Each structure stands twice: as C-alpha cells, then as structure tokens.
Structure 1
C-alpha cells in the first residue's frame, strides 16, 4: 500500500528518529555516565570540534543479529558515533564509542562504521581520532563481532604513515579492542580508563596472580611500565586538549607539511644557554632546559614523559617550523640508551619521517646500557631499531652534540654516518669510542701498571687521551662535525640548517619496504 503521508509528516518522523538515536542509551544512562566522571560520546565530540561543525554519518545503523534477544534490542547508532568535523579549522574524521548503548560493545555494524570512517579519512587525507569507551566485543554477535575488529585493525594499518591517527582511551578498552589504539600513532589515556588484553579475573584464574584493574591497565601502569601510551589526561576535557595540541603540530597527511607559523624569527645569541650544561661530564642537568631555550617560546610537547626517562622525545617549533626533538636526558642514568629508550626514540623518528617533520637530535650519551638483563632482553635488536630509523629517514636531520657521544650510542643518535645532514657540536663535546678514563685503561694499561705511581700515570694518560680524541675537533677534522658552535648560537645554527634543508630530497633504493629489527 502506498505511503500517503505528507512531506511535513515524513520530516516529523525523521526528527523523532534522530532525536531518539542522538539520545544514546536514554537520559538515565547518560546521567549515570556523567555521574561516573565521564562525558558522553557526543559531549566528547562537541568538546573536540569547532562549534557546530560535526556531521554525523551512520546515525541510523542497526545490528542485524536476532539471536539471544538481539532482535528486540534498541541500540541507537549501534553504540558508536561516527562522522566528520573541524578541529582548529582543519577537517578530521571521528569515531566515539557510546558506553550508554550496550556498554559501547563492538558488534558487526559498530565496527563497520568505525572501519568505514577510517577508510574515509584515508580517502580524504584527514587525521582520524578514535575515542574509546567500550566493554569489549559484543558476545551475542559471535564471529561477526570478531570480524568487525579485524576490519578496524586492517584499516588502522592502511592509514599508518598516511594520515595521523590519535586514540583517546576514555573508559574501558579490553581484549581485542586494545589492538586498534596500539596500531595508531598516539594514545591518550584518562584517569577514568583502563586498557588490557585480559582482565584481572582471567589472570587470577589462569595464573593465580592477584592484580587490580588499575594496577594492570591504568594509565600509570601503561606510561611507566608498558610504554603503551603517550599521554595521561586527568579527565575527558584534558584528553581533548592534548589531542588538539598534537594536531596543531601535525600535517593533515603524509603528502603535506605541517603548517609553519609566522612571527617566531628571533634567533638572537642566548647568553644563558652556556650555563645549563656543566663542563664536567659527570655532572647532571635537565636536557629539557636546553630544549626550552632552543624552541619557540619554550613550547615543547613532551611525549611518553614517564616512560624510558633516559631519553626525551616530543614536538616543538623552531622559527615557526614544526620539529621533532630527540634528546638524551643526562639527569637520568647519564642519558644511557637501553631497550626501552631505544624503542621510544625509534618509534618517534619513524613517525616524524612519515609526516615530513624535521628531526633535531641533542646528544649527550655515555653508551648503551651494559648488563645481562639488557643483553638477554635484546638490547642488540632494540638498539638496532634506532640505527634503522635514522638511516631510513628522509626528512632533514640536524644533530647537536652537547657533551658525551661515545661508542655505538653516538652513532645511534643520528651521527653523520647515519645520514645526519648537519652536525653541530659545542666545545664541551666529547666524541670517541668511549670515555677517556675507560680508554686510558685499555690503551695505556701496560704503561700504567709499570709506572712507579700508577694513579698519577693513569691521570696523565686520561688527560692525554682526552686532549687527543675526546674533543669535537678531531671529528671536525674528519668531516664528521660540520660546525663547532658556542652554546648561545645553537638556536640560530639549528634554524639556519632547517631553512637550508627545507627542500631536502633523498633518493632511496627501489623496494617494497625495509624490515625493521624486531
């Protein structure tokens, strides 16, 4: 029978359906979500986008499962809000799971919507932001739920290196769902969220271990121990602010360059820079103090600040140009490279290279961490990741040797031989196979042992080796250091190098892809 309703009646029906679906799980569940200290799926999107720019896609999606009471289930938008919006004036694609609808559980249509949004982001060349708040796979949908996860993972990988992907963990994220954030570029986790593959109850039943959800998958566990996340946010609002800050440094996609800001051209001599780094290589300092004086307005977005603290990574600008900073942290174990710090740096170098972000490397490294724990843990292959990442990079690489640069760790910190385009060194730079004290023990062992006063002889030989090799001038004579500069000249020298290298082009061998040392 023909539908004889008027246009006004049809519009009224549309508005009712939209209002029902936009209400998610209903007012009671929405209030329960807010009472728990979390925002709703649509409130999070409203905080993220500019004004009223969000356009929802897939509002009327429904699950197709009829088993286990699913035929009568009312699940507006199938528990996830997807669409497009503008953030800081730039288009983005967004997916936000709705915990008020079936606990945000991921079924076939739920995951299909997310996968379609990912694919659309790749087609349009826009960043993708996924706000996670889900109880996990929708068990009632069986294999269809698992298949949905697979679709999302596949699209995450397709987008990798093509458009930036940011995950916000704003609630539970368990089981297979945790792998989608792990495949994105950055993970921001709130204090209200937990993320793990198997929960405390399963671990207790299988291994006998007693652990709380917070100890297992809380933000501190992931920041300090697993290294799975990049930022901790106190709440949903701060998570959104971090995401916006991140986006401000990034291009829309790998075919573009980050926006360059105007008005940051001051590169005057900095009289205070020389006071930060002690001339005594045994004395500590905070390399973030150097970074603050190097970058525009001291504005540095540190990434993974609580993980692998012997190295510092993050995004900043120098004369308005986005740069990635990699720096040894001398105040933590003298800035030594270990398994975790190698992984941390290698990941960041690859990310910057994928999105046309020049890399500035600040070097003060005594070497790779010795010990059986590191050797058995695979420091060789983990350290090789840094060698690989820098060698593969095609973006401008500017290296500044502040103080120590010893052994293989010197090479791993973007040495000239690994492709650095410009290597600058302070007068305090010590570039050698090892420190003078260790080298003297090896090279002059016989002379020291035969001396009437071994300690005095040893001190003499240490000084001789120091003068002969542990300076920037030997490396400069070999062409491995381009310029020896005063600390106060650092910002100007780095800015000039970045300007000269702005149109860098590096030919790479024809191949499908390299194989990162795992």
Structure 2
C-alpha cells in the first residue's frame, strides 16, 4: 500500500489518480470502444494534437452529488477530457465529451470544465475544438446541471467571431447537447455513429409513431445533404481529426490574427510572365453554347494554389459552392455559382449557405473570392414560401457588410437581382473582373425583347407580318449588344474585362493590394439583418 506520508508515496498517489483519469471506466471500456472501431475521448484529443503537446486541465475533477447512490460512482474527469495543446505548432484549446461516463449526460462539474476551457480559449485568443457526444442533463443533478447548458451556449455566443470554433460530432447528440454543434463555426460529423437531434429519437417515435434510425435518419449524411448542419463528414474518428487539422490550417488563431500563409508560394514578376498551361486551360472552360453547363470546380481548381480546395457543405444546396483555398499562399474563402446544379440559379438554401460562409470568413480576416455564373433565382413557388426573399437578404447583407477584401470574377451569366447579390460592385466588392464570355444584364433576351420592342411587335402583328422573324432579329441584336461584359465595364460595374488565363494573376495582385484594406464602419451595436 502506498505510504502517503512520504514524498515518494504522494508522487505514486498522484500517478495512480492520473492513470484512473486515463481510463475512468477501466480498460475493458477502452477495449470495447476500440472493438466498435472508435477512439476514446482522450484518444481523439491526442490524435488531433501534436505529439506530447496536450496539457490537461481538471483531469481529477469528480462530481459532487451524493444522492441517488452517486456517491459510490465518481469517475475521474466526470465525462469531459479538456485542456490545450498544439496542432502543427499552433496553440488551440480542446475538450472531448465521453459517452462512457453517465451516457455523456451533462452534470455540474462537467459543465464547469467546458466553460473553463471556453473562457481559456476566448481570453488567450486561440481556436476551440469540441468533440461532442451526449444526451441531455443528468436527472440526479436536475436544474444545477440544466443551467450549465445556458452558460455553455452563452460562452459560445460570446466567443463567436473572436476565436474559431469547430465541433466534431462523434456519437449520438441529442437534446440541448445538439445546440453545441449548431453554434460552432464548422461542424464535422463521423459517419456511422454520429447523429444529431434536439428531440431524442425515442420521443419522436412515441409522439409520431414513426420509427427512427438515428444513424440513417439523423446521421452524418442526412445532416450533410438535407439540413446543412454538417460542413464535413468523415468515415471514422481518425478521418475527422484530419479534417479538423485541415480546417485549422486555413484559419487564424483569432479575429485579430492572420491565417497561416505559405511564403514560399509567393509569385514574382508581372502577370504576363506567370501565365501557365494550367491558366490557359481556363480559356476553354466556358462552352460556346450558353445553355451547356460546366463544372465550376474546373475553374476553382485552376485558380487556387496546386488545385487544393477544401469544400464545405458540398452535399447541401450544391448550386452554390463554398470552401477554402489558397492563392499565393494566402487563405481565401471561395463562393461560386455551380452551373451543373439547377443551372446555377440561386435558391433559398444556397443563399443562406453562402451568407453564413461569407460571415465566418469576414469574422476571421479571410478575403472572399466569388465566381459568378447566375441566370437568376430558382423560379418556384416552393422557393418563395421557403423564404428565398428573406434568406437572400442575408446574402446581400453578408457581402455589403464584409470588411475583408472581396473580389468577384464573372465567368458567364450575371442576370438581374441574383447577380446584384453575388458580390456585385455596388454591393461593396473591391474588385470585379469579367471574362469576355460574361453576360451581364438586368434581364435575359426573352424578357427584354418583348418589353423594348413592344410597339414594333404590336404594329407588326396588326399588319400580320412575321413577328417570329422580328423577334429572332431583335433577340440576336440584344444578345450582341447587351449580353456582354462591356456595358457593365463602361459604367464601372466591372473594373476590368480580362482573358480567363489572367484570372489567377489578377487575383494575386488584387489580394496583395487588399491586404492594406481599412474601413471604418459606423458606430452601432450590431447589424439587424434578417437572421
């Protein structure tokens, strides 16, 4: 037996307690987790952080409840592994919820640990990564536990826009636990085991009679494609950790810092001397037939460094593409209409998706690069009732309020109101470029011709002339004169019409200039845009 009256004994006692914290439910529980193909809460943290960099806080914390027999079950950590360390040498704070302890339910000490690491991240200005799994408050701790949900949520809200927050859903997440994922800047969900729902599946079944399979109905794929809650999905815990590390690599430590920049990627010399074969491939991306779609990934991949692009919410509202890349080593946020999905039309979900992404990028000093090919809004009454007006207002406001550099490239169609909310010059874009293939106009020919030539067509009809031929002639004239980038360039809506092969070079120069961008917004508490 350890003699705690000696220094050696006290050191041995500490070691024994720390060993318990490493496997609070014993080695059999660890083995069961591994047999299920999952990592333990501690292993998730250690896999994310650089080797031996984890500094744990509150490892010896235990709950203080004596009622209901809980005084005989006081596992170390109380269900949360928390602390700080480094990822690629950069400091972060992290916590991981452990479902092996009280089914991941929140208790008072559990909540205290999370709020402590939240405050540590916010006050030191480092990102916070949360591995989430759990299901509501502990009944034995009642309101003392329940109150901590509000405290944790308030901490997330206060840290929002101050430090990046990334949530990783590794198991079932129900009740108020689910809100912790929704308030993060980015959410990663692990396929197979992760599921998110405010109402527990068994209650949904009791009330509605419908059987619910959490993994299939409320899992990673469902939230990636249908709700948009998941920004990224991962095959397993280890892949989720890799995804988080990639995200951290393009994010700054906080809202006053700059994202990591690869100085070795710096370009020297004028634009004309740096055009590569890959740049020249852009000259052939746009089909001759304006009705034929193309994949905007073919554009993005030829503009960003080494073709690397981290797409977010790829399966949700795929008529808009959002994600991070690098240009000349600098992190950029890319927003692009996708012609192969709904012909690139804006929809309610796509507008909201882009708005949220722009707002996050602006919070963390990441310039926004927009590729525009939008023929209009998706014409559907369902869209109108889904709130396309209100949700597009979010997109317009996100662009208008952005304090970071905003650069826009019009590749093909930029029609009407949809074009005006996609990084337009008068909405606040710093630099707008257009390719010669751009069609920038208030309306398409089929709408413009009947309006502009109404009198002539009416007169021809009265005289029983061939109005079809006249319409064809007027349409050709309108397309040649109006569906070009040149009227917009004459009026300053476009700063320059450029060959596609110059796109990367122009963006490099523009981003260098906008490094110096400074704006002084009016004094106000916060914008009152349609949340």
Q: Would you say same fold, with TM above 0.5?
A: yes
Cα deviation for residue 68 of structure 1 reads 1.6
Task: Find the residue that maps to 1:271 and give its secondary structure.
Answer: helix
1:446, distance to aligned residue in structure 2 (A): 4.4
Tell me which residue corresponds to 1:49: 49
Question: For 2:506, which of 493, 500, 514 is the aligned residue?
Answer: 493
**2:521 equivalent in structure 1:** 508
Is 1:364 aligned with 2:365?
A: no
The alpha carbon displacement at 1:432 in A equals 0.8
Partner Cα separation in structure 1 for residue 391 and residue 17 of structure 2: 54
- CA offset at residue 489 of structure 1? 0.6
1:60 alignment partner in structure 2: 60
Whether 1:159 and 2:159 are equivalent positions in the alignment is yes
- Alignment equivalent of 1:346, drawn from 355, 358, 369: 355
2:270 maps to what in 1?
none
Instruction: Kindly indicate whether the alpha-carbon contact (under 8 Å) linking 2:328 and 2:508 is maintained by their aligned counterparts in 1.
Output: yes
Look up the match of 1:254: 255
124-133 or 443-452, larger mean C-alpha shift: 443-452
TM-score, with length taken from structure 1: 0.97
Shift of 1:59: 0.7
User: 2 CA distance for matches of 1:365 and 1:205?
Assistant: 45
Q: Give SS of 2:410's match.
A: strand
Q: CA deviation at 1:275?
A: 1.1
- For residue 454 of structure 1, report the CA deviation from its aligned partner: 2.2
- Contact (CA 8 Å) 2:135, 2:177: kept in 1 or not? no
1:21-170 → structure 2 map (5 Å cutoff): 21-170=21-170
Alpha-carbon displacement from aligned partner over 1:238-261 (angstroms, at most 9, x marks no partner): 000000000000100000111210
For 1:165-180, what aligned pairs fall within 5 Å after superposition? 165-180=165-180
SS of 1:400's partner is strand
In the alignment, structure 1 residue 464 sits paired with structure 2 residue 486: no
Secondary structure at the counterpart of residue 131 of structure 2: strand
1:373 and 2:382 are equivalent in the alignment:
yes
Whether the 8 Å CA contact 2:133–2:177 is kept in 1: the answer is: no
Contact 1:448 1:455 in 2 (8 A): no
Q: Within 5 A, what are the aligned runs for 1:201-240?
A: 201-240=202-241
Distance 1:4 1:268, change over 3 A: closer
Compare 141-150 and 408-417 and name the one that shifted more: 141-150
Cα distance in structure 2, aligned partners of 1:116 and 1:277: 53
Q: Distance in 1 between matches of 2:445 and 2:511?
A: 33
Report if aligned partners of 2:4, 2:10 keep a CA contact under 8 Å in 1.
Answer: no
Task: Give the conservation status (yes or no) of the 8 Å contact 1:363–1:413.
Answer: yes
**Paired position in structure 1 for 2:326:** 317
Q: Distance in 2 between matches of 1:37 and 1:476?
A: 58
Where does residue 442 of structure 1 map in the other structure? 451
Distance of 2:454 and 2:245 partners within structure 1: 58
Aligned twin of 1:295: 304
Q: TM-score, normalised by structure 2?
A: 0.95
169-178 or 436-445, which moves further after superposition?
Answer: 436-445
CA shift, 1:262, in A, is: 2.1
Segment drifting more, 372-381 vs 260-269: 260-269
Report SS of the residue matched to 1:465.
helix
Distance 2:374 2:281 in 1: 22
1:324 aligned counterpart, secondary structure:
strand
Residue 397 (structure 1) aligned with residue 410 (structure 2): no
Q: What is the CA RMSD across the aligned residues, in angstroms?
A: 1.4
Contact 1:328 1:365 in 2 (8 A): yes
After TM superposition, give the deviation of residue 4 of structure 1 in Å.
7.7
For residue 482 of structure 1, what is the aligned residue in structure 2? Answer: 495
The separation in 2 between residues aligned to 1:43 and 1:337, in whole angstroms, is 42
Deviations 1:471-517 (A, max 9, x none): 11101110111000001110001111111111101121110110121
**Alpha carbons 2:436, 2:498 under 8 Å: kept:** yes
Q: State the alpha-carbon separation in 2 of the partners of residues 28 and 120 from structure 1.
A: 33
Measure the CA separation in 1 of the matches of 2:503 and 2:321.
Answer: 18
How many aligned positions are there?
Answer: 516
Q: Give the conservation status (yes or no) of the 8 Å contact 1:24–1:98.
A: no
Distance 2:67 2:290 in 1: 69
Q: Does 1:281 align with 2:290?
A: yes
Taking the aligned partners of 1:74 and 1:188, their CA distance within structure 2 comes to 31
- DSSP-derived class of the 1:133 partner: strand
Which shifted more, 411-420 or 268-277? 268-277
Q: CA shift at 1:42, angstroms?
A: 1.1
Question: Within the alignment, does 1:473 sit opposite 2:486 as a pair?
Answer: yes
Q: Could you say what secondary structure the match of 2:137 adopts?
A: coil
Alpha-carbon distance between aligned partners in 1 of 2:151 and 2:238, rounded to the nearest angstrom: 29
Report the Cα distance in structure 1 between the residues aligned to 2:511 and 2:454, rounded to whole angstroms: 45
State the distance in 1 between where 2:21 and 2:265 align: 47
User: Could you tell me how far 1:436 is from its partner in structure 2?
Assistant: 1.8
CA distance in 2 between partners of 1:200 and 1:99 (Å): 17
For residues 177-216 of structure 1, the aligned pairs below 5 Å read 177-191=177-191, 192-216=193-217
